[in-house]
Structure 1
Amino acid sequence: MEIIAYGVLTDELPLLESAFRESFPGSLPLRCLDLDLDRYTAPTAAGYEIVLSSVNDTLDAEVLGALADGGTRMIAQRSTGYNNIDLHAAEQLNLTVARVSYYSPYSVAEFAWALALAVNRRIVRATVRAHEFDFRLDGLLGRDFHGRTVGVLGTGKIGAVFARIAHGFGMRLLGCDVAENPECRALGMTYVDRNELFAEADLISLHLPLLPDTRHVVDVVDVAALATMKDDAILINSSRGGLIDTDALVDALRAGRLDGVGLDVYEEEAGLFHLDKSLEVMTDDTLARLMTFRNVVVTSHQAYFTRDALDQIITATVQNIRDHLAGRSGDNTLVRPGPHRW
């Protein structure tokens, strides 16, 4: 039995290979590819019992069917999110599916704050100028976060860490979630509905999973979102790109609204993020337009990308495989294992 991994990043490769050598010495050969998994690359998985997928892979019914036909019996997703996997199709095909339900919340929360500070203090623009020996301060005016209001949409593990950092800045905390987090309450957070959060917050950070109910939670149709934000509010998204209607966001920016935006994710990032597109024509008009705004900072889905988080992701992935081989379900199992073929 062999394992194939897709979307493996350069810095991830040695960590992944080392962990699998130690965990499965000589028994489970691992092949790592930097390709994303989709309908075109699925044939490369033929003969591999276990597929390690990433969040940018496409695992719809067609791709899963091709994998099952090629002998794959398990999908081990190396991320918390799994909205890219058709779980119903996987169940029908008798495929085991597991994810990583937990990794360092500090990695994402700290990066969200890095985006917020970069946007507020115009760090990117200042750095570009400095490299050209232009040391003027024109256009670099920011604001103190201290004493201002932060709105945290989604107060789970990552949102709670983000709120704790905000508390350290001395900010007023507003939260919105289906369930209140006692840890956030202890920080002095006031829970409000989305309308009030969007209307009152100077800084808004999104920490929600991407579900049918949360898709485009930020748009211009919903009166609780872009239409009611303060004109000088800052919007940060380090969770899932689909939480924001990007076309609506571009319209708001063109109208001169919002002080700045920091995005580590984009709703159409598959096939773009984690890849070098510098020598190609950018055919995504929305993303190209978004990148023209000087008050927008875009990074390539790297908030999770710390050594600590990768170690935890790889450790959980190894355990998911062990659970599957033992014929048991673990805490990370999304689709229960079926009968083994080996």
Structure 2
Amino acid sequence: MKISFFSSKSYDRDYFARFNTHYQLKFYDTALSLESVDLLTDSQVVCVFVNDQLNAEVIAQLAAKNVKIIALRCAGFNNVDLEAAKAHGIAVVRVPAYSPHAVAEHAVALIMTLNRKTHKAYNRVREGNFSLERLTGFDIFGKTVGVVGTGKIGEAFAGIMKGFGCRVVAYDIQPHPDLIALGIEYVPLNELLAASDIVSLHCPLTPQTNRLINEETLQLMKPNAMLINTSRGGLVDTKAVIKSLKTGHLGYLGIDVYEQEADLFFNDFSESIIQDDMLMRLMSFPNVLITSHQGFFTEEALCQIAQVTFQNLQDFEAGTLNPATTLVKP
């Protein structure tokens, strides 16, 4: 089978080439959309990432081009119209758990950097400034950390924060027995927000979780609390967060995802004028740290993404799709 990769980068080419055994691979730098779908010629497989657009119109075009399977090289699937794929008989598979530790550890890195201001200290020392003024942090030990979503990533993150000596509370529609055994308390969302010094989001983006953090829920949070999002940008109402930062109610914000990231993340705009006013406003706050969707970006995760994607395709060819990685059967 021929596989066409969209939104591909050098690391996609490197890791997929490393684990490829018999497929023909075609890589496109551009994101998949209604405008770029015509690039596709004779591939039965499209392999896509988080910012590719697979709405009903695009999927209809894929079906017309005889595409049989959409292979997501990520866990999230909010950018795919699953009903349209099902209607056209196109299978959809994903990589649900490539490295939960990678994203969980990145969330911790955001917390530690925001708290101890190591990014600022690094720049100061390079300029010969060894002052400690305005670098004050706080002990994470003993703080209450709220984990919203306790799937594999949330579970890994909760375990790390428990190791820091934190009180960890969690919210999920399906409480995790192993976390309960570890001493982690499941509470309603409003209680979690009110009790937590640090809130970290690890849930998928669904109609129910869209803008879960909004003007109302931000008001429930402790004054000067820290909000971390390494899951999906749409979980957070950016305008409401900016307002909360401006009033001083929200103390810190660390995000690896952004609701309008599709036009920006994974690309170099260092010589351009960025037109996204909300993102530029966020970047102006001294208590905000933004990374560009790099939480997954480890050697282990990239290997797992390639291996699981190829296994999904082999299962598809054999007619034995794995229920754990399959979103739509053909």
TM-score tier, shorter chain, comes to: over 0.9
Output the amino acid matched with 2:40.
Answer: A
Q: CA deviation at 1:142?
A: 0.4
Match of 2:290 in 1: 298
2:262 partner SS: coil
Output the amino acid matched with 2:147.
Answer: V
- Aligned equivalent of 1:155, options 140, 145, 150: 150
CA–CA distance in structure 1, aligned partners of residues 151 and 85 of structure 2: 28
Match of 2:4 in 1: 4
CA–CA distance in structure 1, aligned partners of residues 196 and 257 of structure 2: 21
> What pairs up with 1:105-116 in 2 under 5 angstroms?
105-116=100-111
Residue 65 of structure 1 pairs with residue 57 of structure 2: no
Q: CA deviation at 1:180?
A: 1.2
Match of 1:340 in 2: none
Match of 1:124 in 2: 119
CA–CA distance in structure 1, aligned partners of residues 28 and 82 of structure 2: 24
Match of 1:191 in 2: 186
Q: Spell out, residue by residue over 1:13-55, the C-alpha distance to the aligned partner (whole angstroms, 9 max, x if none).
A: 21111211xx21xxx2101222211112111112211110111
CA–CA distance in structure 2, aligned partners of residues 195 and 97 of structure 1: 35
Q: CA deviation at 1:229?
A: 1.1
Number of residue-to-residue matches in the alignment: 329
Whether the 8 Å contact between 2:202 and 2:231 is mirrored in structure 1 is yes
TM-score for the superposition, normalised by structure 1: 0.93
Output the amino acid matched with 1:15.
Answer: Y
Tell me which moved more, 169-178 or 34-43. 34-43
1:281 partner SS: coil
Whether the 8 Å contact between 1:151 and 1:201 is mirrored in structure 2 is yes
Output the amino acid matched with 2:326.
Answer: T
- Aligned equivalent of 2:255, options 255, 258, 263: 263
Residue 233 of structure 1 pairs with residue 225 of structure 2: yes
Output the amino acid matched with 1:334.
Answer: L
Q: CA deviation at 1:131?
A: 2.1
Residue 96 of structure 1 pairs with residue 91 of structure 2: yes
Match of 2:326 in 1: 333
Q: What are structure 2's unaligned runs of at least 5 residues?
A: none
Match of 1:133 in 2: 128
Match of 2:266 in 1: 274
Whether the 8 Å contact between 1:36 and 1:271 is mirrored in structure 2 is no
CA–CA distance in structure 2, aligned partners of residues 19 and 218 of structure 1: 39
Identity over aligned pairs, percent: 43
1:270 partner SS: helix
TM-score for the superposition, normalised by structure 2: 0.97
Q: CA deviation at 1:5?
A: 0.7
Whether the 8 Å contact between 1:7 and 1:37 is mirrored in structure 2 is yes
Residue 33 of structure 1 pairs with residue 28 of structure 2: yes
CA–CA distance in structure 1, aligned partners of residues 243 and 44 of structure 2: 47
Whether the 8 Å contact between 1:153 and 1:204 is mirrored in structure 2 is yes
CA–CA distance in structure 2, aligned partners of residues 235 and 120 of structure 1: 12
Match of 2:80 in 1: 85
Whether the 8 Å contact between 2:97 and 2:152 is mirrored in structure 1 is no
Q: CA deviation at 1:265?
A: 0.4
Q: CA deviation at 1:258?
A: 2.1
Q: CA RMSD, aligned part only? A: 1.2
CA–CA distance in structure 1, aligned partners of residues 294 and 275 of structure 2: 22
Output the amino acid matched with 2:306.
Answer: I
Match of 2:46 in 1: 51
Q: CA deviation at 1:126?
A: 1.6
